[in-house]
Amino acid sequence: SEKIKKDYEKTSNEISTSLVIGNGVMGKGIIWLLSKYLKQTRIKLRNLDKAQNIIGDVAKLYDYFLKSRKMTQAQVDLKLSSLSYTQNFDGLKNIDLAIEAIVENKEQKEELLKKLESCMKDDAIIASNTSSISIEELSKNLQRKENFMGIHFFNPVNKMPLVEIIPNSKTSKKSINTVKQSLIKMGKMPIVVGDCAGFLVNRILLPYLNEAAFILEEGSNITTIDKVLKDFGMPMGPFTLADNVGIDIGYHVSKILNESYGQRMPISNVLIKIYEQKLFGKKSKKGFYDYTNNNTIENK
Ligand code: 3HC
């Protein structure tokens, strides 16, 4: 309502410039989203040679708007021209929000977050898109904990409205409101959730995906389970979803959930097996399905 909007505005800053670190599927989705709604988005790259590929993938996410005539090519080009690149953390002094979406490795994230804090202005908001690492833990070595939080997007970023915001115990109301308000302007539906393993969505989603794999172990098959859950009303079956999310990510989050909640959230042997075989899903052309021949990987 207007009142809620006004209250947010009173206690929040405007975000107009951003930085994204990490250019996997999530990173590129986040770059696309920020490029669409903010004035400038800077991309931290390890190697500038990658810039063309990234811009190409981000540009593809605008196709929907071109095809549906919601945007013109000139408007898309303008958005893409708001992207800039840095290899060395330079040009970050006027950035309002940085989101890291690098690999799920605590030490690497900690090092990066510290570095960001030293290169950015005092009131810049720094966020992690981690799906499993505790935000409290990640905040431990930071000086400005009040400006740090988790901002957890879902895949595909361009279509999934929900975004989890995970504060640490010192995150300020102002920075939460700033992020909330900004995400709302981007058409997202932010919710603030507690800092526990799996946050909210993955605590529900991963047991669902693992249970499907247990049913498979008990003798059912991939296509039947996927079809049944689709007929039930899910947008796609659990194995198709797991392949889309990435088996490596699914395995990693399942492991964290298992360590945190014990027997209540077991990892299926099938998931472990295909993870160990490096069948990571769509991105590696094979997961529960084999995308090279439109088949499943059963009995392998
Ligand atoms: N670019 C930008 N926006 C787009 C788009 C595109 N290419 N395509 C669609 N959209 C937007 C539009 O606003 C569209 O609505 P409109 O057509 O009315 O304007 C809206 O998205 C919905 O698009 P679709 O009608 O194409 O949506 P679908 O019916 O195909 O559903 C879906 C898409 C919602 C992604 C659905 O397939 C789904 O729910 N899939 C499951 C995804 C999921 O569960 N992801 C979670 C993974 S877990 C995770 O990521 C967390 C990690 O930590 C593990």
Choosing from 25, 69, 159, 193 the residue with most ligand 1 atoms within 8 A of its CB, the one to mutate for a pocket test is: 159
Spatial distance between the Cα atoms of 115 and 192, rounded to a whole number of angstroms: 26
Structure confidence at residue 11 as a pLDDT band (50, 70, 90)? low
Q: Which residues contact 289 (CB under 8 A, 6 or more apart)?
A: 222, 239, 240, 243, 295, 296, 297
Structure tokens, 111:
């090092």
Expressed as residue numbers, the domain containing 72 is: 2-192
% of residues, the chain, pLDDT over 90: 92
Annotated active-site residue 252? The verdict is: no
26 Cβ closer than 6 Å to some ligand 1 atom: no
* Candidate list 44, 109, 152, 252, residue with the active-site label: 152
Cβ density class 217-233: b for 16+ within 10 Å, e for less:
eeeeebbebbeebeeee
User: Residue 161 C-alpha to ligand 1 middle, in angstroms?
Assistant: 8
**Ligand 1 atom closest to Cα of residue 155:** 50
Our answer on whether the CB atom of 119 is closer than 6 Å to any ligand 1 atom is no
Atom of ligand 1 nearest to the CA of 234: 39
Distances in Å between the Cα of 261 and the Cα atoms of 29, 141, 197, 272 are 30, 26, 8, 18
Cβ atoms 188, 157 nearer than 8 A: no
**The last residue of a domain, from among 136, 160, 192:** 192
Domain termination residue (choose one: 167, 192, 217): 192
Same domain, 187 and 214: no
Q: For residues 256 and 188, state if they share a domain.
A: no
Co-location of 232 and 155 in the same domain? no
Could you write out the three-class secondary structure of the chain? CHHHHHHHHHCCCCCCEEEEECCCHHHHHHHHHHHHHCCEEEEECCCHHHHHHHHHHHHHCCHHHHHCCCCCHHHHHHHHCCEEEECCCCCCCCCCEEEECCCCCHHHHHHHHHHHHHHCCCCCEEEECCCCCCHHHHHCCCCCHHHEEEEECCCCCCCCCEEEEEECCCCCHHHHHHHHHHHHHCCCEEEECCCCCCCCHHHHHHHHHHHHHHHHHCCCCHHHHHHHHHHHCCCCCHHHHHHHHCHHHHHHHHHHHHHHHHHHCCCCHHHHHHHHCCCCEHHHCECCEECCCCEECCCC
Q: How close is the Cα of 91 to the center of ligand 1, in Å?
A: 33
Judged on CB neighbours under 10 Å (0-12, 13-18, 19+), 93 is: exposed
Which atom of ligand 1 is found nearest the CA of 205?
A: 48
Single residue among 146, 168, 192 that ends a domain in this structure: 192
157 in the same domain as 263: no
| Same domain, residue pair 65 and 146 | yes
Residue 285 has pLDDT above 70, yes or no: yes
Lowest mean pLDDT among 6-15, 68-77, 240-249: 6-15
Task: For residues 131 and 231, state if they share a domain.
Answer: no
Assess whether 70 and 103 both reside in one domain. Answer: yes
Confidence at residue 138, expressed as pLDDT on a 0 to 100 scale: 97
CATH number for the domain harbouring residue 282:
1.10.1040.50
Is it the case that residue 9 has pLDDT exceeding 60? no
pLDDT, tens digit, 9 for 90 and up, residues 148-185: 999 999 999 999 999 999 999 999 999 999 999 999 99
The answer to whether residues 149 and 112 belong to one domain is: yes
Residue 158 near ligand 1, beta carbon < 6 Å: yes
Q: How confident is the model at residue 268 (pLDDT cuts 50, 70, 90)?
A: very high
Cβ 287 vs Cβ 274: under 8 Å: yes
Residue whose Cα lies nearest atom 30 of ligand 1: it is 235
Measured by CA distance, the residue closest to atom 40 of ligand 1 is 235
- What pLDDT score was predicted for residue 296? 85
Closest ligand 1 atom to residue 152 Cα is 53
- Ligand 1 center from residue 162 Cα (angstroms): 10
Domain identity same for 147 and 239: no
Which residues are CB-contacts of 231 (< 8 A; sequence separation ≥ 6)? none
Q: Residue 229 has which token pair?
A: 């859950």
**Do residues 148 and 142 touch, judged by C-beta distance below 8 A?**
yes
Say whether both 80 and 168 belong to one domain. Answer: yes
Q: Are residues 152 and 236 in the same domain?
A: no
ipTM given for this complex: 0.94
pLDDT value for 298: 78
Look at the chain and report how many structural domains it folds into.
2
Which protein residue's CA is at the shortest distance from atom 24 of ligand 1? Answer: 159
The pTM score is 0.93
Amino acid at 7: D
pLDDT tens track for 72-130: 999 999 999 999 999 999 999 999 999 999 998 999 999 999 999 999 999 999 999 99
Domain shared by 54 and 155, yes or no: yes
